[in-house]
Structures are given as C-alpha cells and as structure tokens.
Structure 1
Amino acid sequence: MIKRPGDTRWGSHYITLVNCISMFSSICEILEIIIDDGSNSEQKYETKVLMNSIQSFDFVFHVHLMKTILGITNDLSQVLQRKDQDIVNAMNLVKICKVRLQLMRESGWQSLLDEVSSFCNKHVIDMQLQELNNRFSEKSTELLLCVACLNPSNSFTAFDRQKLICLAQFYPRDFSTTELLILEDQLQNYIIDVCSDNMFVRLTSIGDLSQKMVITAKDKVYPLVYRLLTLALILPVTTATMERTFSAMSIIKTQLRNRMEDQWMHDCLVAYIERDLFDKIDNEAIMYRFQNMKSRRGQL
C-alpha cells in the first residue's frame, strides 16, 4: 500500500516516492484494470489520463529526482521529528545535507542535468538548500551546539567552557563585558561543584538541571551560569512544534473553509492547538460569553 503523504513531513513524501518507484508496475496494472472495468465513463477517462501522465518521461524523471533529494534530507527529517532531539547529531546532519546537495548541484547530474538543469536549479535544489540555510544558518547552528554543552547527561560530558562563553556572547544585552570575564571563572567552579555533588547525578536534561540548581540554591551561587540555563530553556527550538502547527492548519483550513480570513483561522487554530485548556472551560461559560457579545434572536 502506498502511504498517504503528510502535508508537512518530508519523510512521508520520501516513503511515498520510494513506494511509487518500487511498485510502479503494480500501480500501472491496477490503473489498467480500472480503465477496463471502471464503474463509469468519467472514472475510466480520469484513470486513462493519469495512466498517460505516470508513463511519461517527465513524471518518471521527477519521481526519481525528488526521491534522490528527499533521500538526502530524510535522516535529518527523522531526527528533527523525535521528541528526544539530539542537537549535536542533528547539526551534523544539517552540514552533511548541505554538502551533499551542493555536490549534487555541481557534479551529480551528468546527462540528466543537461536536459533539466534550469528546472532543478530554480524549483528543487535551490529550494532545499535555501530552506536548510533559512532554518539552520551558521550562526543558529553554532548557537544550538553551544546550548548542547549545558546538557548534564552522562556526568556533564558535553560541558565545554569556551563554547558556553561563546553562547553568552550571543546575548550581549544579557551579559556585559565584565560579566563575560566573571562567567569564565564561574564556569570552572560550577563544573567542579556539580560533578562532585550527588544531587546532580543522573540528570538528563537542561530543565532538570535548572530545577536542581534552584532546589540546591546554586542558582544564587552561580547566577551567570543559571542565566545561561534560563536563556537556553527559552530558546525557540520549534521544528517539531511548527510541524504540528502546520498539520493543524491542514485540518482547520479545509476546502470548505478555503476563504476563511486570517483572524478567524487564527482563532480556530488557538482553539484547536490549545484544546486541552479549552476542555477545562465549562460550556455554560462559553455560551454566556458568546450570548453577551451582541444581542441575538434566541437564547443559547
């Protein structure tokens, strides 16, 4: 069975293309059966048009082209969709994808590139490279790698003082020049302290670390380090959240609602995404608020 592609998931499109290539003969056979035994003439005609399209050179070329490109980015897509995102490996995959896409653009096309290079450069490869560059610029990649150095798992093995100083330099409004010098010394005391304190054993996330620092009052002892933790916690790493939001948009804005205005769509999305909170609101309170917004013919 061919998997239905999700609107915002690269991986589902990639699997669909792989299945389309591997099951191409079977797909053609099924379409031929529909052409011969379809329930009505309209269905037969649409199937015949589809059959002619998928057997064209353009279709086969584009299927293989997109399968190759999405195959390059598929591992990155899968990593970014996991709840326990491994930032270091994700950033390495970003670099790998950029390199492979660039190599494909420069020397991977041969005779195929000669025929359709203008289309590929305009609509496919540049789009993928631009998306990666927009989401993961060199500065944002460096920022995320610096944040990963705060991770307390495995007895703070990810700790890197220089990268944490670099992280503080990304926030000039939060760290003055003097505080950066103080932070350098404070980090050395901090790492010795937490590594020797049993209270900080088996921590797995920055959130756990920040809570433990408050419990042990080390947020007062190392205020600059705690400020770094606070900034790391509010850093908008929202790849998975954005995918869920766009998935919600595909549910809210259906064909029947394709003319809905931005404000109405915004209100519907808030109600849908935050439905756990809205479930706690009594229906009577909602109807009372709605009734009092303006006079209506009947009582709700």
Structure 2
Amino acid sequence: MERFFGLVHVPDTTSQTLKNAINYVLSRNNLDLKSIRGQGYDGASNMRGHFKGLQALISNDCPYAYYVHCFAHRLQLALMAASQGVVALHKFFTRLSFVINVVDASSKRTDQLRDAQAEEIAYKISVDELETCKGLNQIGTLQQPGDTRWSSHPSLIKMFSPTCEVLLKIIKDGTGPIKGDADSAYESITTFEFIFVLHLDQEIMEITDLLCQALQRQSQDICNALRLVASTKLLLQKMKDVRWDGLLSLVMSFCHERNIDIPDMTSPYFTRGTRARNELSDHTLEHHYRVDIFYEAINCQLMELNHRFSDRSTELLRLSTTLDPKSVDEPFRCGDVIKLVEKFYPEDFNEQEKVVLKIKLQHYEIDVVQHADYKLLTSMSELCQWLIKTRRVVNFHLIYRVASLILTLPVSTATTKRSFSAMNLIKTRLQNKIEDELLNESLVLHFERELAKKISLETVIEDFKKAKDRRVPL
C-alpha cells in the first residue's frame, strides 16, 4: 500500500538536499527514519552512488533500508544499451526516427497515412488475408521510439506499405527540401538491412514485452519479477540457438511480397576501410547478418540483462523467493529464511524470536507448505492474506513478519511517478500555447491557483493572453 505524502520544493538535486527533504517529510508525518526497510529510485548517480548517493546517505542512518533500483527502469536501460551498443541497431533507430519525422510532420500526412491504412485493410479483407473481429485491424500512427517507448516501433511492420505510399506521394507532389527528405527516407526503409533489423527487433520485443509490461504494473512482487527476468533470458538464448533460419526466411518473404531487392547471401561482404573505401572481407553477406547483427544483438541484450539483474546484487531478492508459494515444487529451504533474517533484518527480530523462528519454520513446512490450498496461491501477497484468513498467522506471526518485510521492497514504479508523467503532459500543452517569457514563477502560481478552482486549461491560457495584451503582471 502506497501513501503519497506531498510535493517538496528543493533548491537543487544534490543527494544531501534530497535527504534533508525526506527527513523533513518523515518528521512532519511522525515517522522514524530508522523504520525504513526499502528504498526505490532511478539509476542517477546522485541516487544510487555507493558513497555519496541518496541511498548511501539514508543507509548510513538506517542500514536495513535496502536500495532496489526500479526493475522497470533497469529493463529500459538494458534495452537502450543494446540499441546503442550494436552498430546496425543504432543506425536502424537513427533512420527510423528520420522516417517518422518525415511521415508525421503534418496533420495532412497523418491523414494520408490513415487513408492508406484503411485502403490496405479493406483490400486484405476482400481477399481473405485478414480476419475481421472486434478490436482487430485498428488504424494507428507511427510513434517515435523513445527511451520509455522501446517497443513502439514494431507497428511500422503493419504500416510498412502505407508508409511507403505516403513517402512516394511526397516525392511526387512535394517541393524543396521535403521532397529530398522523403526520397532519402524511402531509400532507407526499402533496404534489406533495415527490414531485417526491423523484424529482429520485433521478435526481441515480443520476448521482453511481458517482462516490460509486468514491471510497469502498479503492484509487482520481487519473486514474480525475478522469475520473469530468468524466463526472458532463457527465451532470448533459445531465439539465438534456433531462430536464425526462420527469421531470415520471414524477412525474405516480406521483401519478396513488396518487390524489395534481396541480396545474394553467398556473396562476399564489403567492410568500410580507410579513406571511405570499401574493402573486401573474408566473410559472406550471410555471415554478416547472422554474426554481426543477429548474434551480436541478442548477445548484447543478454549481457545487459545479466549486468542489470546480476545475481551478486540480488542476494536479498533470491533469499526472499524461499517463501514464494510458486516455489512449492522445490524443497522448502528453512536455512534461507534464517539467513535472510540474520543477515538482512537483524533489528526486526530479537535473539529469542530468532530461536523460535527456527522451530516455527519446521511446523510451517508441514502445516502450510504441504497444505492443498497453498499450491493454489500465486504470490507473497496472497500468502499473507491466506495466513490471516485461516488464522494461521497466530502461530506463524514471525514468518508473516518476514513476508511483510519482503513485500516492502520496491520493485515496480511508484504510483506517484505515474502522477508526474501526467503532470508533464499538462506542462507540455501549456508551454506549446504561450510564449516562453510568460513561464515565470507568477505564471506557475497563477496556473496552480486556477487549476485548483477546476477551471479548464483553455480558460487559463486565455487569461494569460489577455494579461499579455494589457502588459500587466499576472
């Protein structure tokens, strides 16, 4: 359960300033800093620094407030690093952004893209190439592949032909620089390499999407998150081992249907040499696509996932999975629970309770773990509720305390961060409609005051315009 305490203005974002602000909020709400058992921030240096970061400063006062880097943010960093670490992927995203900027530069082109999609969908339905059902065959637009929208670009595969049609219209009817931009964009997306990387990224995104969506849920427990990370790694490794031939056939079929040139994979591959000259390499073109792009992209992705979700940094999380009901098929490890308490939560249990806990765990294994209903539980949260519902919490209150401590560790994005995302939308709309010189402290205060009165955004903007015309301060 999350509770929002409020917004605090800070003069800067140094770790010490943020720590003082947190201390102020906690003291105002009569909360003790030493009672903190979990910290969750992003990966910025002022937050995660081992010596002077915010998590380090709080850990100095409360050594059992364990820092868990937001799992969703870790995944985004891993995906971003993979896109920037492989040359072919980096070039792909650069070209993709350029294509989207050309196609989505005006509402007229957006309408043309929608019309082209509608015509293509209608044609495919008429020849029985598409199924018709509620929710299928939606008409959409292209989105920029941002840091938090990594998986948005595979929609280009569905809109590939309509996008090419719009670019050809711009080439035919356009004038000036836009005509040249459209021609460059069309040449970029109709190359075999661009289409190959587009399909490769789509398959990688299909594997990581479940993990990505799960980590962005408002409620997510550590045990389930760790299982999803492990299964994602296994699926990526499986894709590397068995998917090459299928992917290459899929890309060739896609190009053949759209009359896009398919290179001879047995021909030699030319690498870029000195003085901008191409040099003949010892490898074939098939080797280039398979090793330099396919294997390299998946290896880089696996390496980043192993780095961001390393076993060394997740010992606490690994020990926490012992009480997870989904581990019912594995032998119950009483020693891991004892180690978890003695190493990570010694202040929450006195010596007498630690002795009693060892005995209680033996009864817990027989009375709870071997119970038929226990196998139906799917999370730590359900386990705690079941212990209360069956009144077993009376006998196993120490184990319930351990489970409660595990549940306090933050994994998913905080609800308040979602609120900030919504606030940014309002701020962007406001900045787009008024001039920058009006964005001062008095304007912000006036906007907040009017917003508190539930006056519409359009009314507020109209007030700004009137004030500017009268040349009076707000």
Q: Give the whole-Å Cα distance in 2 for the aligned partners of 1:125 and 1:248.
A: 34
Q: Give yes or no for the alignment of 1:174 onto 2:335.
A: no
Matched residue, 2:307: 134
Unaligned runs of 5+ in 2: 1-138, 249-283, 433-443, 454-471
Conserved 8 A contact 2:380-2:403: yes
Matched residue, 1:51: 186
Q: Give the whole-Å Cα distance in 2 for the aligned partners of 1:2 and 1:242.
A: 30
Question: In structure 2, do the counterparts of structure 1 residues 161 and 139 end up closer, same or farther at CA, with 3 Å as the change threshold?
Answer: farther
Shift of 1:230: 2.4
Shift of 1:83: 5.6
Question: In structure 2, do the counterparts of structure 1 residues 54 and 240 end up closer, same or farther at CA, with 3 Å as the change threshold?
Answer: farther
Question: In structure 2, do the counterparts of structure 1 residues 144 and 42 end up closer, same or farther at CA, with 3 Å as the change threshold?
Answer: same
Matched residue, 2:288: 114
Secondary structure in structure 2 of the residue aligned to 1:77: helix
Q: 1:237 aligns with which of 411, 416, 438?
A: 411
Matched residue, 2:155: 16
Aligned pairs for 1:197-216 (under 5 A) are 206-207=380-381, 209-210=383-384
Aligned pairs for 1:247-286 (under 5 A) are none
Question: In structure 2, do the counterparts of structure 1 residues 117 and 195 end up closer, same or farther at CA, with 3 Å as the change threshold?
Answer: closer
Q: Give yes or no for the alignment of 1:97 onto 2:268.
A: no
Conserved 8 A contact 1:143-1:167: no
Q: Which has the higher contact order (CA 8 A, sep 6+)?
A: 2
More helix by share: 1
Aligned pairs for 1:147-186 (under 5 A) are 147-148=320-321, 150-151=323-324, 158=328, 162-163=332-333, 165-170=335-340, 172-174=343-345, 182-186=356-360
Shift of 1:211: 6.4
2:152 is aligned with what amino acid?
A: S
Matched residue, 1:288: none
Question: In structure 2, do the counterparts of structure 1 residues 127 and 221 end up closer, same or farther at CA, with 3 Å as the change threshold?
Answer: same
Conserved 8 A contact 2:188-2:194: yes
Q: Give the whole-Å Cα distance in 2 for the aligned partners of 1:161 and 1:184.
A: 16
Provide Cα deviations, 1:177-200, integer angstroms capped at 9, x if missing partner: x87775343123235556899xx9
Unaligned runs of 5+ in 1: 258-267, 269-277, 284-297
Question: In structure 2, do the counterparts of structure 1 residues 140 and 29 end up closer, same or farther at CA, with 3 Å as the change threshold?
Answer: same
Secondary structure in structure 1 of the residue aligned to 2:332: helix
Q: Give the whole-Å Cα distance in 2 for the aligned partners of 1:159 and 1:106.
A: 34
Matched residue, 1:295: none
Q: Give yes or no for the alignment of 1:188 onto 2:326.
A: no
Indicate the RMSD between aligned Cα atoms, in angstroms: 5.4
Question: In structure 2, do the counterparts of structure 1 residues 217 and 115 end up closer, same or farther at CA, with 3 Å as the change threshold?
Answer: closer
Q: 2:162 aligns with which of 26, 29, 41?
A: 26
- The alignment covers a number of residue pairs equal to 256
Question: In structure 2, do the counterparts of structure 1 residues 240 and 18 end up closer, same or farther at CA, with 3 Å as the change threshold?
Answer: farther
Q: Give yes or no for the alignment of 1:35 onto 2:171.
A: yes
Question: In structure 2, do the counterparts of structure 1 residues 168 and 70 end up closer, same or farther at CA, with 3 Å as the change threshold?
Answer: farther
Secondary structure in structure 2 of the residue aligned to 1:162: coil
* TM-score normalised by length of structure 1: 0.57
Question: In structure 2, do the counterparts of structure 1 residues 120 and 239 end up closer, same or farther at CA, with 3 Å as the change threshold?
Answer: farther
Question: In structure 2, do the counterparts of structure 1 residues 158 and 81 end up closer, same or farther at CA, with 3 Å as the change threshold?
Answer: farther
Provide Cα deviations, 1:77-130, integer angstroms capped at 9, x if missing partner: 3444456755575245234235236537999999544358456677x3344123
Conserved 8 A contact 1:149-1:159: no
Shift of 1:233: 1.0
1:51 is aligned with what amino acid?
A: Y
Identity %: 34
Question: In structure 2, do the counterparts of structure 1 residues 102 and 31 end up closer, same or farther at CA, with 3 Å as the change threshold?
Answer: closer
